[in-house]
Homo-oligomer: A and B are copies of this chain.
Amino acid sequence: MWAWRLHASLPRTATSLEAADWLKVLRWEEVELPKLPEGWARVRLLAAALNRRDLWITLGLYPGIQYPAILGSDGCGEVVAIGSGVPSEWLGQRVLLNPSLNWGQDERVQGERYHILGMPSWGTLAEYVDVPAENLYPMPAYLSPVEAAAIPLAGLTAYRAVFVQGGLQPGEKVLIPGIGGGVAVWALQLAVAAGAEVWVASSRPEKIETAHRLGAKGGILYTEKNWAENLLQRAGSFDLIVDGVGGEVFSAYQLLLAPAGRVVIYGATRGNPPSFDLRRLFWRQNRIIGSTMGSPRNFSDLLHFLTQHQIRPLIEHTYPLTALPQALARLWRGDQMGKIILHPV
């Protein structure tokens, strides 16, 4: 088959990365498909999607990178072959892939053998991908393959963060900083569908505008002076903050949290917070809760929730798979809001 293979990392200090830069480390090349292991299935991809994880690996900002790697955690396609022990009903079915491999038996946390589809195991930026049959889920019938491919990694992360770790209740007030990122947009759509009052924060007015169209009640720009105080005045305090930003923005959350309020952290694109007020935390009975990816049960519950509410993903742009360098360059610029999808030609 043909696949995009990563052979080295780009300098992490790069300030501008155009399509030609990505081509220095990524090659579209033919690779031999391995023998399908017992319990695994082979999927011909109909669509794949990008995540920031793909960027970080390409920039060498990820632990345990192995070369050559086939990236890509999101994919949907058609089952074209099965290993021994896999029910034959899967053959020919359209499936969505759960990118959480080997989660393990504990709903609270992934086990030691856990990893994410797309490095070290081969990912979805290719013509075919092999996965354990337990990671196959029937593609939601109300969506196209391009739409379905926008779900897995970001949707799963958002679902676990909002409902499982965050324990969102209908009518609660939610803040989603860093709106525009894949997980943040899914968190917004899920929380709105669950009956929450959702506010967003961003550094770009057009992203707040899009969030508003997706059901957000309001938004605030970080660039506003005293943004946290202004938000508190306009929106009141928050029961739940779902955060992938961290850094100095995190330090503002303790002001914004209601008594018994929770912050669920699924990422830290701006790094660690410069300060953390323990006294305010314990006196207000607040919680800071870590969340990453999700269990098979979380993935199944996510697909059920999306179908029940007929939620359609926000897609920014689709590219042919062969234009991966252009797609990565766009993701790296960070001005997009929805998912970037790749489809075979």
Contacts and interface: CB of A to CB of B under 8 A. Distances in A.
Interface of A: 106, 108-110, 165, 246, 250, 259-260, 265-268, 271-273, 275-279, 281-292
B278 A265 contact: yes
Contacts of A292: 282-283, 285
B267 A282 contact: yes
A275 B278 contact: no
Contacts of A108: 259-260, 285
Contacts of A265: 278, 281-282
Contact of A289 (B250, B271, B275, B287): B287
A98 to B, nearest CB: 17
B276 A284 contact: no
Given A284-B290, A287-B288, 12 more contacts: A106-B260, A108-B259, A108-B285, A110-B259, A110-B285, A250-B278, A265-B282, A272-B276, A281-B290, A282-B290, A285-B290, A288-B288
Contact of A284 (B109, B246, B287): B109
Nearest to A157: B282
Contacts of A279: 268, 272
A282 B106 CA distance: 16
A273 to B, nearest CB: 6
A290 B290 contact: no
Nearest to A258: B109
Contacts of A288: 281, 287-289
Nearest to A286: B290
Contacts of A246: 278
26 contacts: A106-B260, A108-B260, A108-B285, A109-B285, A110-B259, A265-B281, A265-B282, A267-B282, A268-B282, A271-B278, A272-B276, A272-B278, A276-B276, A278-B290, A282-B291, A283-B290, A284-B290, A285-B290, A285-B291, A285-B292, A286-B290, A287-B287, A287-B288, A287-B289, A287-B290, A288-B288
Contacts of A268: 278-279, 282
A109 B275 contact: no
A-B pairs, top 6 by smallest CB distance, nearest first, are A109-B260, A282-B290, A108-B260, A268-B278, A281-B290, A288-B288
A275 B281 CA distance: 15
A52 to B, nearest CB: 14
A275 B271 CA distance: 11
Q: Most chain-B Cβ atoms within 10 A of its Cβ — which of A266, A268, A282? A: A282
Contacts of A286: 290
Contacts of A283: 290, 292
Nearest to A288: B288
A275 B268 CA distance: 14
Nearest to A257: B290
A183 to B, nearest CB: 11
Nearest to A285: B109
Contacts of A272: 275-279
